[in-house]
Structure 1
Amino acid sequence: MSTLFGAAQGDTAQSKIDLGADDRAAAAAETSRPWLGVGVVGAVGIAYSVSWITGLCLWPANPAVTSTSTGVTTAFAAHSGAAAAQFTLTEGLPAVGLAVVAFALGRAARAARAARAAAWAAAGGHAGARPGRLSRLALPAGALAAAVSAVQWVLGVVLAVVAAPRGEAAESLTLFQIVNRLDGVKMFLLAGMAVGGAALARRAVLPRWLGVEGAVLAILLLGSGVGYLTLNPALAPIAYVDGPLLLVWVTGVAVASGRRRRA
């Protein structure tokens, strides 16, 4: 009997050792691959920023929004391949990233509204517990921004590989201006997405710093959006400020959403 009891104790101890070893191995694997902790949404958000930065490095000197037809045609004809790759990396692939992050925010907003509605009902319908509405902006605004970005990619590639190399100056300028004006529309939509994210941060669904940055980002995007929509050379350069902030915000929201879903 004592022999059997001792063997059972030995098996239990060995199991604990094995479990401890497995836990340590899993922790070591996650430490060596920290991106695993952010989930699919977080990885997409990181890829969004990497794609954008890579695209900007391919051709950092784009024509100004007020460029003439000759200037646009010459610039894109001389850098056709780089311009097409840049449109793919700054408009095409990021469209997918924006869509993924927008749907993650939409899912978080629905969960937050459900919890808020339950609290509102439990509180007897007091105004202080009423479900928030601004968080609803995140999904439709982000999804539409992704769609606009995809259209910009298609038009940009046509400009870079078809119109400009053929020397079609009028068509090149028209395409260039449409892409820039669509950038303005997309900035307005991204501002709405940022407002929705800020509302979620107020509900503690996202980190507080993302809410503060989202509010600032929304204001800046409205300014640069006007600049690009109207091809205003005084307002368009605001994008040099809100562009990096947008990358940080989208990536931060994606990582926070990915970790929250895995928690």
Structure 2
Amino acid sequence: MEAIDVALGELQASAADVLFEGCLQENQAKLSLEASAEGELGAVAKMHEQMVRVEEPQKEEICEAAIGELRRRLDDLSELLDEQRLTQLRHFSMALPEINNKLELLGRQAAECSAKTEAFEVRLDLTRTNLDTQEQRLHALSSRFEKTQRRDCPGLDDLVVKQEEEPLKQHFDIKVTKLADAAKILQKVAKEGLVTPVTPKRKEEMIKKTPSFGDRETDDCLKELETAVEADESQASLSGDDALPFGFSMSTAVRRSISGFTGC
């Protein structure tokens, strides 16, 4: 019995070994397949990496070239801007001293003008004050002079009135002279009218020969003076204030006409 058990144990052990070997081969086959698949994938990845490594340097070179061109252009633009700014600053720095000198000159002139204006205002105030003082003194002196004149010369006012009336008297004398000349002409006209009849045409000629008497109508003057001449034919001369410088006489009617003409 023991021998049978030993034999069965050996058989089981041999069967287990056989089974184990079969499973091991299958496992190894699977592992080899998986390993081959992984190897193929790794090879593809390596090939892709190599291709990418080949393309990346070209892209980097292109980008680096473009970046370099941009930097060069930026540098050129910055240099151009710097030159323009320096040129403007150079011109401004060259013109700045002249501008400063002009500003200083204007400042000095403004200060001088201000000082002169203030001095002129002071002098103007003094002159105005002096003028006011002189005006007051002149007014006081004129008042004192008038008082002294009235006190020392009582008839001075009458003299002033007479001096003011002298132009009126001269005007009256001129009117009297004109009337005297008109009287002479009317005497001749009256004598001519006794011989020849006075027609309207003749009357117009007489009016033209007669001088103007101012604002009165010519016909009225002629009538009054004709009446005066007829009334004065018998009278030889006048005395006193009625005497005229031309040597002919005037009647009362003539004097009345003169008074009405001159308003005296």
TM-score (norm 2): 0.24
TM-score (norm 1): 0.24
Structure having greater relative contact order (Cα 8 Å, sep ≥ 6): 1
